[in-house]
Structure 1
Amino acid sequence: MNELKENEVVNPKSNKSVPQGSMNAIVFHDYGDASVLQRGVIDIPDRLPGQVLIDVRASSVNPIDYRLRSGEMKGLLPGGFPRVPGYDVAGVIADCAGDSPFAVGDRVMAFLDSARGGASADFAVAAVDVTASIPDSMSFNEAAAIPLAGTTALQSLRDHGKLEAGQRVLINGGSGGVGMFAIQVAKAMGAKVDAVASGDNQEFCLKLGAERFFNYDETDIAQTSETWDLIFDAAGKLDFWDVRERLSESGRFVSTEPDVKGMLMTIVTLPMSKKSRVMLAQPNADDLRELIRLHEKGQLQITIDAIYPMSQLSRAHQHVEEGVERGKVVVTSD
């Protein structure tokens, strides 16, 4: 989608041209199903101080993308159209300030810090502190799969779950985008990891590092006699009150489901020994660098379920809505 680059100016730092004018993007002008996603031409975003302009080579689709597109969360993120969906970006620095830690041409990934997204376009802007350099050994497709899902897994386990080496953690939804990262991050942290997913994903979860596997069609976690120090509901399907007896005395329950009930549970359980937390990932370059470090050490493999061109973003959204078998759905620049 990067053909509209005729109008350019020179970046004084690099003597390379900086895109100006219009760009291709996938936009939506109202809430609805995946058919509201349409190809359009919009202005290339202005790079503000403290930001970089990224020539997008790949992105990925997360459940939050179709939930925002459908209007499910319009109470949390009201109005304003057209919108460009997506928060995951992998690409090349097209413009940056003279004192930036990056240079034009650097390969980077970013977890976009705009509440409105912006990844599904030729170019995107991101704050320097949510952008990280990627090694030559990492493809743009792999890099695009990491930011939101990987950060969600890392922050859920480390910051909200307070996971420590030797503790037992259960990952519900272990084969999905967030769960895939969570199993591996928890293993790298020295935890004893169990996973829940459909039966045909047993081998996948065990290869990622899970020690035990539970088929959700055969086992109701709430009815088992097991206990864990942390239950991380990466699928957003469990209820704290249903599984609280499966937590150790000071155990924690962390969910990725940002609904009113979950947020209320965060408040209600504050004085309790067993706590419930709803997490919303916060863009952070240090966390991206930690995930890249784990990948380079061989402790974080990236599984891509499907790849779509940007022009077929609506199909990619439908794929994620219908359910991803294993890993992430990646979208490449046309």
Structure 2
Amino acid sequence: MSTDFAEATTETTATPLRDATDTMRAMIYEDYGDAAVLHEAELETPKCLPGQVLIQIAASSVNPIDYRLRRGEMRALMPGGFPRVPGYDVAGWIAAAADDAPFPVGQPVIAFLDSARGGASAEYAVCSIDAVTPLTKPMPIEKAAAIPLAGTTALQSLRDHGKMATGDRVLINGASGGVGMFAIQIAKAYGCIVTAVASRKNQSVCEAWGADQFIDYRTTDYTTTGQQWDLIFDAAGKASYLDSRPVMSEGARFVSTEPDVKGLFMTAVTAPFSKKAKVMLAKPNAEDLRTLVDLYNDGKLKIEIDSTYPLARLGDAHRRVEEGVDHGKVVVKVNQ
């Protein structure tokens, strides 16, 4: 399989696309637990309905939401229903499409799967056409697979919820992680002044991504620096809105990726005030994926890969993310 898998849209013969069979290989879990519950199984290959496409998956990537769901941390929001195929990030080719789909069979694509239960850790997945974007220029499989969820989270957090504007002073907490990697570069692409908060060992990589200032959270609490920011994005889900208020400028926004009860409460109670808090959950959106791909193609987005695993070692990939990745994304190769 070629490392760069996006050929021109008309050159579908350049892809290793094969006819979909009735069954497919997948990694599943049949109950909540640690990474050991993940195991290989043979499942029925999904069929696409009107408004959907079937994607032959080349690679996926692991995000913290994947292991949190596997451990049962969100069972109140998503109870029951096993077996489950984890993962939301997909890079691959259109294997089949309903008549209303705008993509030809063989088209290289990335997708942010719009099923609440995921489905990316398998040979095939179905997805709404509204959550799929074509790749028309060569891109390494690993980097393409790293984009969807983390990139969309960063873009929607900063642009839609954080209302970032050119010249804004933006602080990113957890700047060296998968979402932080995208957030630094997206904020810079939009003309913002970026402060990255991470551990000292990740200073150089944050600066390479474009951070204007770096704060080592182990030695300095950004809430006590006396500086002011127009937007604070807590990509790590560990900062506090109340603690951050003193360093938020008038009209500043605080955006977090931590969907807990406390965060949702803060979103509601701060709505009338000038300094607002917002807890966000990324929504699959093809146009946002296109924006991210365009940033990559324009040289404004670097994507760093921490490690790559074969599908059969998905459990090891989950453990890697759970242990804490210094920087970059963990990718899973599916069809090799």
Same fold, TM exceeding 0.5?
Answer: yes
Tell me, in whole angstroms, the C-alpha distance in 2 between the residues paired with 1:268 and 1:168: 24
Aligned Cα root-mean-square deviation (Å): 1.0
- Contact 1:54-1:94 within 8 A present in 2 as well: yes
Instruction: Tell me how far 1:223 sits from its aligned partner.
Output: 1.2
Letter in 1 for 2:240: D
Aligned ranges for residues 170-189 of structure 1 at < 5 Å?
A: 170-189=171-190
Instruction: Tell me how far 1:18 sits from its aligned partner.
Output: 4.6
- Contact 2:87-2:121 within 8 A present in 1 as well: yes
Tell me, in whole angstroms, the C-alpha distance in 2 between the residues paired with 1:58 and 1:309: 9
| Aligned equivalent of 1:93 | 94
- Contact 1:63-1:320 within 8 A present in 2 as well: yes
Letter in 1 for 2:207: L
- Listed one character per residue, the Cα deviations across residues 206-239 of structure 1 (whole Å, up to 9, x for unaligned) are 1101000000111011111011000000011101
Letter in 2 for 1:83: R
Letter in 2 for 1:22: T
Aligned ranges for residues 48-197 of structure 1 at < 5 Å?
A: 48-197=49-198
Bigger Cα displacement from structure 2, 209-218 vs 98-107 = 98-107
Tell me, in whole angstroms, the C-alpha distance in 1 between the residues paired with 2:176 and 2:311: 24
Instruction: Tell me how far 1:134 sits from its aligned partner.
Output: 1.3
Aligned ranges for residues 287-302 of structure 1 at < 5 Å?
A: 287-302=288-303
| Aligned equivalent of 1:26 | 27
Tell me, in whole angstroms, the C-alpha distance in 1 between the residues paired with 2:109 and 2:187: 25
Structure 1 runs of 4+ aligned residues shifted over 3 Å read none
Letter in 1 for 2:156: Q
Count how many residue pairs are aligned between Structure 1 and Structure 2: 319
Structure 1: tracts of 5 or more residues without a match? 1-15
Letter in 1 for 2:98: A
Instruction: Tell me how far 1:20 sits from its aligned partner.
Output: 3.6
| Aligned equivalent of 1:234 | 235
Letter in 2 for 1:66: Y
- Listed one character per residue, the Cα deviations across residues 92-118 of structure 1 (whole Å, up to 9, x for unaligned) are 110012342101111000000000000
- Contact 2:26-2:121 within 8 A present in 1 as well: yes
Tell me, in whole angstroms, the C-alpha distance in 2 between the residues paired with 1:136 and 1:244: 43
- Contact 2:259-2:281 within 8 A present in 1 as well: yes
Tell me, in whole angstroms, the C-alpha distance in 2 between the residues paired with 1:145 and 1:251: 30
Letter in 2 for 1:195: A
Identity, % of aligned pairs?
Answer: 61
Letter in 2 for 1:315: D
Letter in 1 for 2:165: E
Tell me, in whole angstroms, the C-alpha distance in 1 between the residues paired with 2:304 and 2:215: 21
Tell me, in whole angstroms, the C-alpha distance in 2 between the residues paired with 1:66 and 1:302: 22
| Aligned equivalent of 2:279 | 278
- Listed one character per residue, the Cα deviations across residues 8-31 of structure 1 (whole Å, up to 9, x for unaligned) are xxxxxxxx9752411110000000
- Listed one character per residue, the Cα deviations across residues 125-183 of structure 1 (whole Å, up to 9, x for unaligned) are 01111001113321221110000000000000000000000010000111100000000
Secondary structure in structure 2 of the residue aligned to 1:19? coil
| Aligned equivalent of 1:216 | 217
- Contact 1:62-1:320 within 8 A present in 2 as well: yes
| Aligned equivalent of 1:200 | 201
| Aligned equivalent of 2:324 | 323
- Listed one character per residue, the Cα deviations across residues 77-98 of structure 1 (whole Å, up to 9, x for unaligned) are 1110000000000001100123
- Listed one character per residue, the Cα deviations across residues 261-301 of structure 1 (whole Å, up to 9, x for unaligned) are 00000001011110000000000000000000000110001
Secondary structure in structure 2 of the residue aligned to 1:31? coil
Structure 2: tracts of 5 or more residues without a match? 1-16
- Contact 2:49-2:98 within 8 A present in 1 as well: no
Tell me, in whole angstroms, the C-alpha distance in 2 between the residues paired with 1:226 and 1:315: 41
| Aligned equivalent of 2:5 | none
Tell me, in whole angstroms, the C-alpha distance in 2 between the residues paired with 1:19 and 1:311: 20
